[in-house]
Structure 1
Amino acid sequence: MPEKNNVPVVRERIMQTAELLFTQFGINAVSLDLIAKQAKTTKMTVYRYFSNKDDLVLEWLKSTTDQYNAVFDTLAVKFPDVAQAQILGFVDYIIENLANAGNRGCPFTNTIAELSDIHHPARILIQQHKKRQLQRLTDLFLQMGVQDPLYMAEELTLLLEGAQVVAQNESIEQIGSLLKKMIAAKLNHAK
């Protein structure tokens, strides 16, 4: 019986360990055995919570997309009528994560690169997440009164995605401050 009380703790420890390992080494390089060992549990315990590795990957990505959605939601509450502040707040979130990417880059981009099956549930989740993100940015540009809000959201998305790749290959120093400067200039000209 005591194990039932421990369920959320053990599951969360497995999730945190998987996230750390997937982010650091990639999905294909990480086995369930390694996750169990690093989480200080057994492979059988991992299987109690996740039917297979794909299930664990999907749960990790759901958690990651939830974090991105929470950022948008928090910014909407903090700056309810200031779309530009919401956009810049999201840019700040991305910039903060550029340094935390651990030289492996965006978890979404890396996952798509590692999962060749275009119908894999994780790839579909990422596609849906990116479409929602693009729509949220489009809506914010619409609130700003930008003439072509979809185009601006696409342009911003390309800048953000590109910055994540450049941060990974380290070809441009101080990528975060440069990205912020570029986007601020775009927003100022968009009005």
Structure 2
Amino acid sequence: MIVTDLGSLTSPRVVGRPTRDGGQAEAARRILDVAAPMFYGQGVRAISADAVIEAARVTKATFYRHYPTKDDLVVAYLHDVSDAERRALQHWRSQHPRDPARVLERYARTVGTQACGPEFRGCPFLNAIAAHPDPTHPVRIAAEEHRAWLRSYATDLLTEMGVRDAGLVSVQLVMLRDGAMATGDDVQPGRVTQALLRAGAAVVRGA
């Protein structure tokens, strides 16, 4: 999970039912903006559509016009988080066009810092996967699609670095990322970051 304010770099995807000119409906975005911290903080299973409707102060008709089911809203939430992470990585890559190792380092440092933050509740994609064991469920598919993209992006960076078997190494690095997010509150953020950087460097050197 990467939380960053890079929304101005690219136009965000339209969520909910678009306006007549294809733009973003204000109500649909407001519903998602209200639901996102609820889903992340309490879990996608724990939050009902009625709870979001009440918190967003919209009618049921408005809610279901934009999100026919709660699952549609959860998928939109995961897409929003995915888009933010993609923008962050693409931004870092544009800042370091000839230094893919630096991009991986910045990602690792951000993950390490977030993993021990007071508002951290784990990886939203892993949380969604745990809540939806059915591999054909749309929420599960949305979460798996992002993780596949993350491995693919890491593979591209590793290939640019000249790492052998970059696909396998990308799997290893994502596993380390997942482990860092499950470290626990008793480890200081600096230690998590240091451990993640050292372990990742060791994996890359070993390849």
- Fold shared per TM-score above 0.5: yes
Segments of 5+ residues of structure 2 without an aligned counterpart are 1-18
Contact 2:105 2:197 in 1 (8 A): no
Does 1:170 pair with 2:205?
no
Give the Cα–Cα distance (whole angstroms) in 1 for the partners of residues 130 and 204 of structure 2: 35
Contact 1:36 1:42 in 2 (8 A): yes
- Give the counterpart letter for 1:173 in structure 2: Q
Partner of 2:40: 23
Give the Cα–Cα distance (whole angstroms) in 2 for the partners of residues 19 and 81 of structure 1: 35
- Give the counterpart letter for 1:91 in structure 2: A
Contact 1:23 1:102 in 2 (8 A): no
Does 1:182 pair with 2:198?
yes
| Equivalent residues, number | 185
Contact 2:155 2:170 in 1 (8 A): yes
State the Cα distance separating 1:127 from its structure 2 match. Answer: 1.4
**Identity within the alignment, %:** 26
Q: Which TM-score applies when normalising by structure 2?
A: 0.79
Does 1:120 pair with 2:137?
yes
State the Cα distance separating 1:117 from its structure 2 match. Answer: 1.8
* Selected match of 2:80 from 63, 73, 96: 63
Render the CA deviation track for 1:132-178: whole Å, top value 9, x for unaligned.
11111111111111233223212211110111122xx4243335333
* Selected match of 2:171 from 154, 177, 181: 154
Per mean C-alpha deviation after superposition, the further-off stretch among 102-111 and 171-180 is 171-180
State the Cα distance separating 1:23 from its structure 2 match. Answer: 0.5
Q: How does 1:2-21 map to 2 (within 5 A)?
A: 8-21=25-38
Give the Cα–Cα distance (whole angstroms) in 1 for the partners of residues 114 and 58 of structure 2: 29
Q: Cα distance 1:100–1:47, how it changes in 2: closer, same or farther (>3 A)?
A: farther
Give the Cα–Cα distance (whole angstroms) in 2 for the partners of residues 136 and 121 of structure 1: 23
The runs of 4+ residues in structure 1 deviating greater than 6 Å are none
Q: Secondary structure of 2:182's partner?
A: helix
Give the Cα–Cα distance (whole angstroms) in 1 for the partners of residues 205 and 175 of structure 2: 18
- Give the counterpart letter for 1:162 in structure 2: G
Give the Cα–Cα distance (whole angstroms) in 2 for the partners of residues 185 and 153 of structure 1: 12
Per mean C-alpha deviation after superposition, the further-off stretch among 59-68 and 97-106 is 97-106
Please tell me the root mean square deviation across aligned C-alpha atoms, in Å: 2.4
Does 1:86 pair with 2:103?
yes
State the Cα distance separating 1:41 from its structure 2 match. Answer: 2.0
State the Cα distance separating 1:101 from its structure 2 match. Answer: 7.4
Give the Cα–Cα distance (whole angstroms) in 1 for the partners of residues 136 and 204 of structure 2: 40
Per mean C-alpha deviation after superposition, the further-off stretch among 93-102 and 73-82 is 93-102
Query: Is the helix fraction higher in 1 or 2?
Result: 1
Give the Cα–Cα distance (whole angstroms) in 2 for the partners of residues 118 and 100 of structure 1: 30
Q: How does 1:28-39 map to 2 (within 5 A)?
A: 28-39=45-56
Partner of 2:67: 50
Contact 1:159 1:179 in 2 (8 A): no
Partner of 1:136: 153
Q: Which TM-score applies when normalising by structure 1?
A: 0.85
